[in-house]
Amino acid sequence: MREKKRKMLAGAAALALCWAVSGPNLMDNAWATDAGEAKAQAQSTSDLVRKGQVLFAENCVACHQEEGVGKAGVAPSITNKELLRIASDQFLFETIRDGRVDTPMPAFGEVLASKDDIHALVAYLKSFRTGPDLSKDIEADHISMGDPRLGKRWFEQVCAGCHGPRGEGYAGEGSGTAIGKPGFLGKASDGFIRYIVKNGRSNTAMRGFSGSYGLANLSDGEIDDIISYLRILE
Which positions touch ligand HEC (CB under 6 A)?
Answer: 59-60, 62-64, 70, 75-78, 80, 83, 92, 95-96, 100, 103-106, 108, 121, 158-159, 161-163, 169-170, 175-179, 183-184, 193, 196-197, 201, 204-206, 209, 215, 226
State which residue, 36 or 221, has the beta carbon closest to ligand HEC.
Answer: 221
Helices 115-126 + 24-59 axis angle, to 10: 100
Q: How far apart are CA 219 and CA 58, in angstroms?
A: 43
CB of 194 to ligand HEC, least distance (A): 9
CB of 188 to ligand HEC, least distance (A): 6
CA distances from 74 to 103, 127, 189 (A): 10, 23, 24
Comparison of 166 and 184: residue with beta carbon closer to ligand HEC: 184
C-alpha to C-alpha distance for 192 and 173, rounded to whole angstroms? 24
Shortest Cβ 215–ligand HEC spacing (Å)? 6
233 CB-near residues (< 8 Å, 6+ apart): 166, 167, 180, 181, 185
Q: Give 80's DSSP letter.
A: -
The gap from C-alpha 79 to its chain's centroid, in whole angstroms, comes to 11
Least distance CB 168 / ligand HEC (angstroms): 8
| Shortest Cβ 186–ligand HEC spacing (Å) | 11
By C-beta, is 152 or 163 nearer to ligand HEC?
Answer: 163
In terms of CB distance, is 184 or 191 closer to ligand HEC?
Answer: 184
CA distance 106 to 87: 19
